[in-house]
């Protein structure tokens, strides 16, 4: 295995595009190093992108935020403006692993590892985030939910990698939240995850909603019908119960070592309902 | 039992919270554990493991691996055929069959980890995959895949005429249970299953082996018993015990899991073949797949009570699987299951079963936690039936001095009622509970063990004490040994240094198990110290020119026994030691014993928790553990044992368990999905030390290491029952199970029992009653 | 492929050669003789290899050794100043906050990082900060108490 730590995006692209064998991008390494060690992955080349300045910054952009793919969870949590604008996204990132993992794990890695249970993906999808992909043909932006194809699979061409993520400007009356279920209090992979982003008008009526579900399908599920059901409501108990039922219906979970189909289907509704209540309160909190 | 008169006495050092002597190396990173050793010219050894749960090994071709540059040795089962080829040997390196996912089939030693890893891939094993079975009840079926063609159930009359996966049947008890049940007003009958758990010690097994061409060998290893390692490895490899010196490293947790060998004989075999030192260290995945987890169990339990709370009869059938070899420990479960109670009619039948899983090793009170889960859950239900406080029911029936236990002995002084009273009188027992919260109580029992012990104490010329014991220190025992020696000699605690001597320096010592070290090595330390004190008195007598009978030892000094003996100023230990060259040479004491009288131990646990009714998530809110320590030599470390065992039991109850797929492969061989409790999962654990002196020890000490893991499973289950109204009968009581039970209750207006019992997989239609024949 | 790495460990300049796929933990233990950082899992789940990398708490098993180039690494071996134990080390010793001791270096490194950030943590904050450090012996009780007590003593010192 060859290790390279280029200092520019172009150099990284050239390295990745020039490798005929398996080439992997190293950001935080909290998934990659486990795969290396277990022997399930034997890349010819590992490209460490952490020495590229663009991957390590959080910049204000167009009223929103551009987050380098190799920014850590801990760094996101320390960014006050980001936390104020997108608390759900930051919480989702901060839920991943321990304090030690937070010092390394990155949103770019969490996205590109393409685990169905990735915590930050439903939150990013609910927030309407996009990923900036750089490659031999230049750069492009893709909605995060479109990047992931299935477990462990992302839609990237040879030589391409995710350089940054973009979170749009948070609109007035908007609030987001992410909740997940794990059997312990920490250190587990999500058995179920639910990200919700809501916009309320001055009367507390929902004008827009995005609901994204994790660990209940091969990839993140944008529960569009469930979200549409919230629009026009005041997010009262009946609306939230309807959301729970609709998200449970939208889920396509499986039985595995972490949970059963029935459990996941039921709990995803519970979490979506609870996350929507948090998002609602956040949206109203801003208005107040 | 030796007569160890326990007199009320004032202790000077024993009972104090002394700083542990090995602590400073452990807080600075200097302590050397199994993997922290290197040797000149050292190779790295790795093991190739079976990917199949059950397969005949047709052939193994190691030629490509051997040809790889850097590879110095490859071994397979063939390399062990010269020595004893018993279950332990076959478990360390497969013979004709791979018996579980992870079973070792070959090993390599190479100049680098890289080369060793590459070599493993070049070993070609031709497997004939066989049908497998991993569930205990399924393995008992007549048509189950058979692991051993020659396994005929032991303990059945007449002996069966065909082989099966049932290694043995045991029965214990007294009275006549049907008579007892006839006296009962209420009979509660429930069936339980527990999944296998792992000790989860944080330090993976590791060793460095070095065998010379002349047959002499050294082994550095993290183990609970280096003398056991020596004897087992010597027999397996055809070495002489005197030629194999084993040194115990610091040990990073064991809990019973390091009381046998896995990689040690392999490292020795590789080293012998390569003529170089070989280091081996398991990965965490190997630890889970191929060391010794617990048995998994299936238990039917039946208890009869009168309306006023007398237990009239108790009956159980326990089916344990302990992996691919006999010895699942169901007999221990049967012996322990109803022991906390004075019951006239008891019967417990135990079935010891083999499956395609790794061979079990001991884990803290092995066999008892699953038995206690069944008995204490059933008793809790019985208390509900008759409307009695569960603690009152237990107090009413608690074993005490003079109670005859179903497994044989009549108890001397024991501390169960004192523990129950301590919990009853605690603030915790009376604290209010909120919505969705529940409180559960359970008792636990463990036998404790004495065993072979050999200890030497040396009085140094500067008046300090060197103590050599042969029992690895897994939880602070050096501190306890120092305290007991200091107590006897009358010197400050800091003047004693205790080392764990290697196998060339002391006689045989049994492994650190059975909660035996503070009891047995402590007893031997006290007796060896007394012998040395006798010699110190002899030397003082020589210095004074009087009879040795005229000298006594008090407060660290030799003194004339009476004014008649002469008028001499007391001689300190240091003064006598300084003169030792002129009075007969070095001063030492020694004691060897096969210690009996370990003294049984009881504990009572109380658990508060809250259940999220929408997700089944359980948060443990408050936990209290009371336990009889006899005499707590170092209360800090007694509490530590109680707290640690409680945490392990809570993990077992809620989230720990082996997950095998339909393919017979272990799916959660890592700390990510084998979920031991993390710091944020637990509250503080209040430890109440009860001291009912053990008549079998000079200071009244009882072992304290194991009992604490027996009560938590039922304490947690009983608390869930109290919080939710549903009775969980299967561990782990993880959220999906709890939520399913809650959902089932919604459709069950009675709400008393859940679908869990009715649908318990593997439970056969046997009317819930144990029977005595083959299933 | 081998990599030559120049780095700073516990304030000392170090240079070592390693394989590209070796971890920082491998380098510390096998190449530099710093065996105080322990390997309990190799997957970032146990925290026994906790070290500071450029002032950030990480698991050394999840860092490639090559990544340490030009970085600052602090391990348990650098925690005591000369003969003087760090207050956390002293408290763990005095308060019996260890049994077998294999997890202790990781807990100490992690707890020190916590107190440097938050000198007055609540019990809950301590428990969540240390959730990535597994201990199987103590039930965490005495460890959590030791961290809280050390924090109190350091605040009043």
Tens of pLDDT along B237-270?
Answer: 999 999 999 999 999 999 999 999 999 999 999 9
Same CATH topology for B34-130+204-251+258-290 and B296-448+599-759: the answer is: no
Same domain, residue pair C53 and C31: yes
In a domain, A95, yes or no: yes
B763 has pLDDT over 70: no
d(C-alpha B325, C-alpha B87), whole Å: 7
Chain B residues with CB under 8 Å of C75 CB are 29
d(C-alpha B267, C-alpha B73), whole Å: 10
Same domain, residue pair C136 and C69: no
In eight-state DSSP terms, residue A21 is S
Class of domain B34-130+204-251+258-290: alpha beta
The segments of chain C whose pLDDT lies below 70 read none
What confidence score (pLDDT) does residue C1 get?
87
- Name the burial class of residue B174, with classes exposed (0-12), middle (13-18) and buried (19+) by CB atoms within 10 angstroms of its CB: middle
What confidence score (pLDDT) does residue C82 get?
87
Q: pLDDT class for B765, splitting at 50, 70, 90?
A: very low
Q: Got the DSSP string for B281-336?
A: E--HHHHHHHS----EEEEEEEEEE-TTS-EEEEEEEEEEE-SSSS---HHHHHHH
In eight-state DSSP terms, residue C41 is -
Q: Which domain holds residue C25?
A: 2-78
Chain C contact for B682 (CB, 8 A cutoff): yes
Is B689:B604 a contact under the CB 8 Å cutoff? no
If one counts the domains in chain C, the total is 2
If one counts the domains in chain A, the total is 2
Q: Which domain holds residue A219?
A: 174-287
pLDDT in tens, B114-160: 999 999 999 999 999 999 999 999 999 999 999 999 999 999 999 99
Q: Where are the domains of chain B?
A: 23-31+450-595, 34-130+204-251+258-290, 296-448+599-759
- Name the burial class of residue B635, with classes exposed (0-12), middle (13-18) and buried (19+) by CB atoms within 10 angstroms of its CB: middle
Chain C residues with CB under 8 Å of B678 CB are 131-132, 134
Contact A262 B675 (CB under 8 A): no
Which residues, numbered 56 to 95 in chain C, qualify as contacts with chain B under a Cβ-Cβ cut-off of 8 Å?
75-77, 79-80, 85, 89-90, 92-95
Contact B616 A263 (CB under 8 A): yes
Rg of chain B (C-alpha set) = 28
Q: pLDDT class for B8, splitting at 50, 70, 90?
A: low
Of A2, A37, A99, the CB nearest to C110: A99
B759 has pLDDT over 90: no
The pairing of strands B465-469 and B496-500 is: parallel
What mean pLDDT do residues B540-562 have?
A: 96
In a domain, A197, yes or no: yes
Contact B740 A39 (CB under 8 A): no
pLDDT in tens, B666-703: 999 999 999 999 999 999 999 999 999 999 999 999 99
B767 has pLDDT over 50: no
- What tokens were used for B255? 């809990």
Same domain, residue pair A180 and A221: yes
B3 has pLDDT over 70: no
Give the CA dihedral B520, B525, B531, B535, nearest 10 degrees: 170
CATH of the domain at A141: 3.30.465.10
Last residue of a domain, one of A167, A185, A210: A167
Q: What is the mean pLDDT of chain B?
A: 94
Chain C residues with CB under 8 Å of B17 CB are 96
CATH of the domain at C65: 3.10.20.30
CATH of the domain at C110: 1.10.150.120
Same domain, residue pair C63 and C116: no
CATH of the domain at A224: 3.30.390.50
Last residue of a domain, one of A137, A167, A197: A167
Last residue of a domain, one of C78, C99, C127: C78
Last residue of a domain, one of A117, A135, A167: A167
CATH numeric code, B23-31+450-595:
3.30.365.10
Number of H helices, E strands in chain A: 12, 14
A–C interface: beta-carbon pairs under 8 A: 92
What mean pLDDT do residues B639-654 have?
A: 98
Pick the CATH number of B296-448+599-759 from 3.40.190.290, 1.10.645.10, 3.30.365.10, 3.10.20.30: 3.30.365.10
B624 has pLDDT over 80: yes
Same domain, residue pair C51 and C105: no
What mean pLDDT do residues B317-340 have?
A: 98
Contact B284 C40 (CB under 8 A): yes
d(C-alpha B48, C-alpha B50), whole Å: 7
User: pLDDT tens track of chain A, all 288 residues?
Assistant: 999 999 999 999 999 999 999 999 999 999 999 999 998 899 999 999 999 999 999 999 999 999 999 999 999 999 999 999 999 999 999 999 999 999 999 999 999 999 999 999 999 999 999 999 999 999 999 999 999 999 999 999 999 999 999 999 999 999 999 999 999 999 999 999 999 999 999 999 999 999 999 999 999 999 999 999 999 999 999 999 999 999 999 999 999 999 999 999 999 999 999 999 999 999 998 543
What confidence score (pLDDT) does residue A266 get?
98
Chains that touch A (3 or more CB pairs under 8 A): B, C
B380 has pLDDT over 60: yes
Interface of C with A (CB under 8 A): 1, 3, 19-21, 23, 42-45, 47, 50, 53, 56-59, 61-64, 66-67, 69, 110, 113-114, 128-133
User: Distance from B722 to chain C by nearest Cα, in Å?
Assistant: 24
What confidence score (pLDDT) does residue A286 get?
55
Beta strands in C20-135, from DSSP E residues, in sequence order: 50-53, 56-59, 72-74
B775 has pLDDT over 80: no
What confidence score (pLDDT) does residue A144 get?
97
């Amino acid at each position: 295995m060859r290790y390279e730590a280029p200092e520019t995006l172009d150099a990284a692209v050239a390295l990745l595009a020039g490798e005929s064998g398996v080439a992997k991008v190293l950001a935080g390494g909290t998934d990659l190093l486990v795969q290396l060690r277990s022997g399930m992955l034997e890349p010819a080349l590992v490209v460490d992108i952490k020495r590229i300045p663009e991957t390590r910054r959080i910049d204000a952009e167009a009223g929103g935020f551009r987050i380098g793919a190799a920014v850590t969870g801990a760094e996101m949590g320390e960014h006050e403006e980001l936390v104020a604008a997108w608390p759900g996204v930051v919480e989702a990132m901060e839920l991943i692993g321990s304090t030690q993992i937070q010092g390394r794990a990155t949103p770019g890695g969490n996205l590109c590892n393409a685990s169905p249970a990735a915590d930050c993906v439903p939150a990013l999808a609910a927030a309407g985030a996009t990923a900036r992909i750089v490659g031999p043909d230049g750069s492009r932006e893709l909605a995060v939910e479109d990047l992931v194809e299935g477990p462990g699979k992302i839609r990237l061409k040879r030589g391409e990698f995710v350089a940054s993520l973009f979170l749009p400007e948070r609109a007035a009356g908007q609030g987001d939240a992410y909740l997940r279920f794990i059997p312990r209090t920490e250190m587990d992979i999500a058995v179920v995850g639910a990200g919700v982003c809501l916009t309320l008008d001055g009367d507390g009526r929902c004008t827009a909603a995005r609901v994204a579900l994790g660990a209940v399908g091969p990839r993140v599920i944008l529960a569009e019908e469930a979200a549409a059901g919230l629009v026009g409501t005041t997010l009262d108990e009946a609306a939230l119960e309807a959301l729970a039922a609709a998200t449970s219906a939208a889920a396509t979970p499986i039985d595995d070592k972490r949970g059963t189909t029935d459990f996941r289907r039921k709990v995803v509704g519970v979490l979506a309902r609870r996350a929507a209540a948090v998002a609602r309160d956040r949206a109203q909190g801003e208005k107040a | 039992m030796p007569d160890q008169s326990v007199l009320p006495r004032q202790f000077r050092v024993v009972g104090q919270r002394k700083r542990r002597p090995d602590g400073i190396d452990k807080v600075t990173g200097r302590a050397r554990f199994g993997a922290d050793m290197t040797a000149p010219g050292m190779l790295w050894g790795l093991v190739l493991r079976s990917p199949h749960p059950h397969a005949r090994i047709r052939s193994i071709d190691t030629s490509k691996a051997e040809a790889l540059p850097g590879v110095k040795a490859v071994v397979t089962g063939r390399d062990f055929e010269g020595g004893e080829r018993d279950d332990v040997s076959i478990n360390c390196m497969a013979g004709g069959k791979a018996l579980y996912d992870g079973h070792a089939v070959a090993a390599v030693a190479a100049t680098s980890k890289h080369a060793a890893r590459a070599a493993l891939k070049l070993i070609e094993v031709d497997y004939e995959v066989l049908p497998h079975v991993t569930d205990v009840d399924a393995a008992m079926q007549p048509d189950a895949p058979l692991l051993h063609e020659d396994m005929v159930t032991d303990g059945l009359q007449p002996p069966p005429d065909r082989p099966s996966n049932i290694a043995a049947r045991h029965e214990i008890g007294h009275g006549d249970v049907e008579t007892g049940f006839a006296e009962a007003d209420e009979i509660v009958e429930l069936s339980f299953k527990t999944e296998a758990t792992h000790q989860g010690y944080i330090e993976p097994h590791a060793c460095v082996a070095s065998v010379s061409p002349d047959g002499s060998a050294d082994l550095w290893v993290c183990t609970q018993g280096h003398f056991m390692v020596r004897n087992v490895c010597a027999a397996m490899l055809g070495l002489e015990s005197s030629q194999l010196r084993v040194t115990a490293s610091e040990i990073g947790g064991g809990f019973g899991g390091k009381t046998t060998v896995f990689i040690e004989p392999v490292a020795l075999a590789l080293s012998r073949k390569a003529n170089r030192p070989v280091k081996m260290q398991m990965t965490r995945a190997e630890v889970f797949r191929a060391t010794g987890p617990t048995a998994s169990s299936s238990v039917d339990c039946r208890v009869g009570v009168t309306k006023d709370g007398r237990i009239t009869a108790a009956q159980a059938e326990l089916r344990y699987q302990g992996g691919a070899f006999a010895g699942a420990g169901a007999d221990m479960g049967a012996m322990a299951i109803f022991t906390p109670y004075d019951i006239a009619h008891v019967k417990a039948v135990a079935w010891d079963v083999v499956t395609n899983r790794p061979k079990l090793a001991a884990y803290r009170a092995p066999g008892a936690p699953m038995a206690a889960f069944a008995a204490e859950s059933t008793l809790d239900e019985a208390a509900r039936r008759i409307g009695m406080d569960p603690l009152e029911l237990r107090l009413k029936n608690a074993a005490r001095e003079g109670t005859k236990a179903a497994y044989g002995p009549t108890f001397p002084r024991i501390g169960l009622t004192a523990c129950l009273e301590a919990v009853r009188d605690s603030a915790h027992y009376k604290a209010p509970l909120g919505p969705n919260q529940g409180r559960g109580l359970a008792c636990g029992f463990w036998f404790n063990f004495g065993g072979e012990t050999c200890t030497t104490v040396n009085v140094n010329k500067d008046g300090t004490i060197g103590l050599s014991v042969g029992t690895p220190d897994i939880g602070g025992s050096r501190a306890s040994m120092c305290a007991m020696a200091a107590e006897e000699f009358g010197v400050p605690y800091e003047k004693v240094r205790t080392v764990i001597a290697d196998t060339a320096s002391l006689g045989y010592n049994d492994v650190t198990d059975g909660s035996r070290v503070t009891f047995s090595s402590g007893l031997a330390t006290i007796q060896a110290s007394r012998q040395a004190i006798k010699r110190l008195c002899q030397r003082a007598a020589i210095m004074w020119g009087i009879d040795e009978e005229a000298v006594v030892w008090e407060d660290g000094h030799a003194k004339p026994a009476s004014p008649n003996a002469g008028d001499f100023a007391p001689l300190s230990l240091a003064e006598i030691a300084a003169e030792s060259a002129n009075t007969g040479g070095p001063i030492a004491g020694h004691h060897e014993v096969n210690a009996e009288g370990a003294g049984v131990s009881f504990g009572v646990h109380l658990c508060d928790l809250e259940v999220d009714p929408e997700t089944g998530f359980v948060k443990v809110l408050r936990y209290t553990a009371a336990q009889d320590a006899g005499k707590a030599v170092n209360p800090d470390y007694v509490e530590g044992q109680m707290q640690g065992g409680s945490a392990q039991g809570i993990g077992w109850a809620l989230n720990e368990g082996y997950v095998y797929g339909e393919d017979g492969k272990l799916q959660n061989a890592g700390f990510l999905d084998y979920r031991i409790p993390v710091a944020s999962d637990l509250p503080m654990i209040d430890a109440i030390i009860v001291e009912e002196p053990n008549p079998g020890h000079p200071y009244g000490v009882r072992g304290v290491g194991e009992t604490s893991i027996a009560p938590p499973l039922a304490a947690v289950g009983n608390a869930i029952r109290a919080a939710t109204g549903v009775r969980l009968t299967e561990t782990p009581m993880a959220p999906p199970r709890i939520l399913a039970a809650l959902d089932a209750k919604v459709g069950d207006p009675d709400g008393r029992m859940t679908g869990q019992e009715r649908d318990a997989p593997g439970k056969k239609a046997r009317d819930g009653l144990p029977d005595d024949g083959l299933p | 492929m081998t990599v030559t790495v120049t780095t700073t460990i516990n304030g000392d300049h170090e240079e070592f050669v390693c394989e590209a796929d070796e971890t920082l933990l491998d380098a510390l233990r096998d190449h530099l003789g710093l065996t105080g950082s322990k390997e309990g899992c190799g997957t970032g789940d146990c925290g026994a290899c906790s070290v500071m990398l450029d002032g950030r708490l990480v698991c050394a098993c999840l860092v490639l050794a090559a990544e340490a180039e030009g970085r600052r690494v602090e391990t348990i071996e650098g925690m005591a100043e000369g003969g003087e134990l760090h207050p956390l080390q002293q408290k763990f010793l005095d308060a019996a906050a260890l049994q077998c001791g294999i997890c202790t270096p990781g807990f100490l490194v992690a707890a020190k990082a916590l107190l440097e950030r938050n000198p007055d943590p609540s019990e809950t904050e301590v428990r969540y900060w240390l959730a990535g450090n597994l201990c199987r012996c103590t039930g965490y009780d005495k460890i959590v108490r030791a961290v809280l007590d050390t924090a109190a003593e350091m605040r009043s010192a």
